[in-house]
Amino acid sequence: MPVTASTRLSAESAVLDIGQMQPDEASIVADLFQTIVSVLPYYNDCAKESELKQYSADRLRESVDRDSDAVLVARTNGAIVGFCISRLDDGLVWLSWFGVHPTQRGKGVGSALLDGLEASVANGRSHKIWCDCRTDNELSIRMLTRHRYSRLCEVANHWYGQDFILWEKLVK
């Protein structure tokens, strides 16, 4: 079942739409992913290199072929300004990444993407979302907490030799 949402953004009255990534949008999403991940201060070079390879345009298209809700995008006036990448994981949904174009931050795009993901799960995709974030990623920690994700544990010296927090959210 497709995810669709529409939200009014800021005083400029732009409309934000959340929906499934179309295959012809994969290059745009991969470029936005690279723009965001390549400058993250809390990921080491090994982590960035590995993640950038995993989320190429071809791999994003493959993900959508397997699960049409695997890559959700935020569009403002037709332009992609954010993404939410997830995958089915043994009956659960793993939230791999969500990101917002730097010029669109603080306008509710990230929250709308998480709401879209939760709607896709509530539509029968799963009963639970789980994810991780770096222990020093204060923006993600605040966002996940605001969206009522529960902190499961902290895992020290884990992926790429870095510290992470594991999170979950049960979705009705």
Q: Which residues contact 112 (CB under 8 A, 6 or more apart)?
A: 5, 7, 16, 18, 74, 82
Backbone phi, psi, residue 37, to 5°:
-70, -35
What are the structural domain ranges in the chain? Answer: 5-170
Backbone phi, psi, residue 29, to 5°:
-65, -45
Contact 131, 167 (CB under 8 A): yes
The tokens describing 12, both together, are 């400029």
- Dihedral sign for Cα 146, 151, 157, 161, please: negative
- pTM of structure: 0.91
CA 25, CA 102: separation in Å to the nearest integer? 19
CA 67, CA 61: separation in Å to the nearest integer? 10
Q: Which CATH superfamily is domain 5-170 in?
A: Gcn5-related N-acetyltransferase (GNAT) (3.40.630.30)
CA 19, CA 116: separation in Å to the nearest integer? 8
Q: Is 57 helix (H, G, I), strand (E, B) or coil?
A: helix
pLDDT in 10s for each residue of the chain, 172 residues: 345 454 545 445 589 999 999 999 999 999 999 999 999 999 999 999 999 999 999 999 999 999 999 999 999 999 999 999 999 999 999 999 999 999 999 999 999 999 999 999 998 999 999 999 999 999 999 999 999 999 999 999 999 999 999 999 999 8
